[in-house]
Structure 1
Amino acid sequence: MSSINEAARQSEGGDGPVVSASTDGVPAPERFDWWAQMVGAEVMPVAIQSTHATRFRGSVEAVGMPHSQVAAFAFSPMVARRSPAHIRRHDPEEYYVVLVHGSPIRLEQGRGVACLESGDMSLFTTSAPLVCDFLDRGRQTRLTLLRLPRTVLPLAGGRADRLLAEPLSTRTGAGSAALLGSYLAGLPAAARACGPAELARLGVLGVDLAATVLAGRLGAQDALPTETRKAALRSRIKIFIEQNLGDPELLPAAIAAHHHLSVRSLHLLFRHEPETVGAMIRRLRLERCRADLADPALGTRTIAATAARWGFRHPADFSRAFRRAYGFPPSEVRARAWARALDVQQVCARCRRSAGRHGSQ
């Protein structure tokens, strides 16, 4: 991530694991060239053209992790071409998974041509000629790149090359592609709250999810290391749990059955995690209840109804669990929320009265 770090020193900067850079800190006449040099150094050497060159704007947030990097880009429409001459000049021998957020992208590499809409992903490599047309649809191009050195992707013999410039949709619920899309979209924000150990785990998770998606498209799941398959399955289970917290029948047995596992296999899958499956469900439910109780807009909903909404069968059990987790009863959260709302109302009333007095003078 050295070149983005250098760009950050020249423009915006960044603290912690997320480093940001922007053309806003560069004199306007130099912005397009600055962007071209940054992309060439950080991603790979390419030739770029843009009808917006004289008014070009771009920004990037990058998260560096062991063995991988995630970078979120936003920029004016352009076309990027990587030629055999570029490859001979410098080939880092890396794959990139691209997730599209904004205007469509047309990607050409090898025998593949992918027209990617927002929410689509695809794969490209630094080791083959490439054309990326970032289409001008009246809005800025936004995308996220996951960099994967060939040495860390557990698909031997260049098997992933068969998927170059093929669309990979993320619109399939809790499937591996959807999980990878959510991971890429949310990583820069999540990384800001991470320490080094957690960031390293997130980096491993990204590689595992990408490998699982690609192996699934190739029909080569059995070629993946056992731990890679287990990590992807844990991620699917966690998403399933979060999506079904309101179901009081969300128990380990139901979760195991939904994922075609025995209860014992489910517990073994999570044995090295910081908490058990049951503890995770309880923690997430309590967090949702606390957030709802602290929301004045939900003040007419009773505490018992809030508990039931998030899967607690009995209000008394909920109150005991809440007090054990937070050290005070749920009623205290509701009371604090009402007190804060009343304070805001009183401040606003004083401001209105003060404005009225000044207006009458």
Structure 2
Amino acid sequence: MIETVFSTEDLPGVDRVDAWREKLSQTHAPVDLVCRPDSDFHAQQRVVQLGSALVWPAAMSPLTIRRTPRLIRGSDPEMIHLSLITKGTMGFRMGGPDALYGPYEIRTNDSSRPFEIFVGPQGEVVEAVSVEVPRVRLPLSSDDLDQVIGHRMAGQEGVGALLAAFLTTLMVSPRSYTAADAPRLETILVDLLAAVFAHALGAMDRLPAESRRRTLTLRIRAFIQANLHDPELTPRTIAAAHHISTSYLHRLFEDEEETVSAWTRTQRLEHARRDLAEPGLRTLPIHAIAARWGFPRAADFTRAFRTAYGLPPRDYRRQALPFAE
């Protein structure tokens, strides 16, 4: 996928705020910026396009971002903006009392309504991963979106944590994806955004059935990843944890590349493989690594590992860490 990068470090100090105003206006909608004239302003942005959506991590010095009625009358692309704050604090005002947002809280605004964003009100650099998506792209009514946009949402639990994990993972290595991956990633992003908004409304049933199905599959994958250490992690226990039948769980994975059992085993083996190649774990016995990732019987682990990687775990460790023994 194409990633574009912007940094004010390439510009003279007097031009940086104007350049950042232009960049934000292109990314979201026309805005005004207010910055202390004596400040040493810095901003950085990376932008990845996923179909009609943009994902852009950024870091910036303190300033105020304003979208006014005059700017809205001049141009309104009808975009929904979401920011997952990862460092620092943001103040926000949009038709209500001021609010202060901290790390791993989710802040939203709408290009069709006036707002003010106070970046770094305590004087610190702020970092966030932001999303721009056309309002019409979300499978919720305009009335539903109007009720929820601007309200605080959590990025550390529930579907908000799923969205946070997706955004941070995507932006760690966006170049590892290709243009062919963009439609699938856009679908996942829109599903998660819609689920976050629907959850805030207490109206998950308003989402299309296929969107609910895909979001449930993502939740199940996250649950499996968090419980790989548990040898009792089986399709039955996974289904019970999500209040669905085992047969429905298997149907959810029918369109996936692997069955739920095969995917769970693949994740366990991959985590074990990484541990075997980790220098800091060179003294940890292989059977302990196996148990750490849900293989209580060493013989079962050795057999599964050899099938997956073509050699037993001891030989793999010797190759990865020549001086381990």
Q: How would you bin the TM-score normalised by the shorter chain?
A: over 0.9
Question: Residue 180 of structure 2 corresponds to which residue in structure 1?
Answer: 197
Decide whether aligned partners of structure 1 residues 137 and 110 sit closer, same or farther in structure 2, where only a CA change above 3 A counts.
closer
State the secondary structure of the residue aligned to 1:107.
Answer: strand
**Percent sequence identity over matched residues?**
37
Question: Residue 355 of structure 1 corresponds to which residue in structure 2?
Answer: none
CA RMSD of aligned residues (A): 1.7
1:277 paired to 2:251:
no
Report the alpha carbon displacement of residue 338 of structure 1 after superposing the two structures with TM: 3.4
Report the alpha carbon displacement of residue 129 of structure 1 after superposing the two structures with TM: 0.6
Max radius of gyration: which structure?
1
1:55 to 32, 35, 40: 40
Q: Which moved more, 1:307-316 or 1:48-57?
A: 48-57
Question: Residue 124 of structure 1 corresponds to which residue in structure 2?
Answer: 109
Tell me if structure 2 keeps the 8 A contact 1:114–1:166: no
Question: Residue 247 of structure 2 corresponds to which residue in structure 1?
Answer: 264
Please show how residues 154-193 of structure 1 align to structure 2 within 5 Å: 154-172=139-157, 175-193=158-176
The one-character-per-residue Cα deviations of 1:118-167 (angstroms, maximum 9, x if unpaired) are: 11002210001111111243431111211120111111133211123211
The one-character-per-residue Cα deviations of 1:252-297 (angstroms, maximum 9, x if unpaired) are: 1100000001010001111111111111111111111111111222
State the secondary structure of the residue aligned to 1:55.
Answer: coil
Q: Distance in 2 between matches of 1:190 and 1:229?
A: 27
Please show how residues 1-361 of structure 1 align to structure 2 within 5 Å: 16-51=1-36, 54-111=39-96, 113-172=98-157, 175-339=158-322
State the secondary structure of the residue aligned to 1:319.
Answer: helix
Q: Distance in 2 between matches of 1:219 and 1:299?
A: 48
Q: Distance in 2 between matches of 1:24 and 1:316?
A: 56
Q: Which moved more, 1:109-118 or 1:39-48?
A: 109-118
Aligned residues: 325
The one-character-per-residue Cα deviations of 1:94-126 (angstroms, maximum 9, x if unpaired) are: 111111112211111133643211110022100
Question: Residue 6 of structure 1 corresponds to which residue in structure 2?
Answer: none
Letter in 2 for 1:275: E
Decide whether aligned partners of structure 1 residues 113 and 185 sit closer, same or farther in structure 2, where only a CA change above 3 A counts.
farther
Q: Distance in 1 between matches of 2:36 and 2:101?
A: 21
Q: Distance in 2 between matches of 1:163 and 1:114?
A: 15
Structure 1, gaps ≥5 residues long: 1-15, 343-361
Q: Distance in 2 between matches of 1:195 and 1:279?
A: 25
Decide whether aligned partners of structure 1 residues 252 and 318 sit closer, same or farther in structure 2, where only a CA change above 3 A counts.
same
Q: What is the TM-score when the length of structure 2 is the normalising length?
A: 0.95
Q: Distance in 2 between matches of 1:32 and 1:170?
A: 29
Letter in 2 for 1:235: L
State the secondary structure of the residue aligned to 2:258.
Answer: coil
Tell me if structure 2 keeps the 8 A contact 1:18–1:188: no
Letter in 1 for 2:231: P
Tell me if structure 2 keeps the 8 A contact 1:191–1:199: no
Decide whether aligned partners of structure 1 residues 138 and 130 sit closer, same or farther in structure 2, where only a CA change above 3 A counts.
closer
Report the alpha carbon displacement of residue 190 of structure 1 after superposing the two structures with TM: 4.2
Decide whether aligned partners of structure 1 residues 290 and 158 sit closer, same or farther in structure 2, where only a CA change above 3 A counts.
same
State the secondary structure of the residue aligned to 2:244.
Answer: coil
Letter in 2 for 1:194: Y
State the secondary structure of the residue aligned to 2:106.
Answer: strand
Tell me if structure 1 keeps the 8 A contact 2:28–2:79: no
Tell me if structure 2 keeps the 8 A contact 1:109–1:164: no
State the secondary structure of the residue aligned to 1:151.
Answer: helix
Q: Distance in 1 between matches of 2:38 and 2:239?
A: 54
Q: What is the TM-score when the length of structure 1 is the normalising length?
A: 0.86
Report the alpha carbon displacement of residue 56 of structure 1 after superposing the two structures with TM: 1.1
Letter in 2 for 1:180: L
| Large movers: runs of 4+ above 4 Å | none
Q: Distance in 1 between matches of 2:236 and 2:17?
A: 57
Letter in 1 for 2:276: L
Q: Which moved more, 1:324-333 or 1:235-244?
A: 324-333
Structure 2, gaps ≥5 residues long: none
Letter in 1 for 2:204: Q
Report the alpha carbon displacement of residue 176 of structure 1 after superposing the two structures with TM: 0.5
Tell me if structure 2 keeps the 8 A contact 1:107–1:133: yes
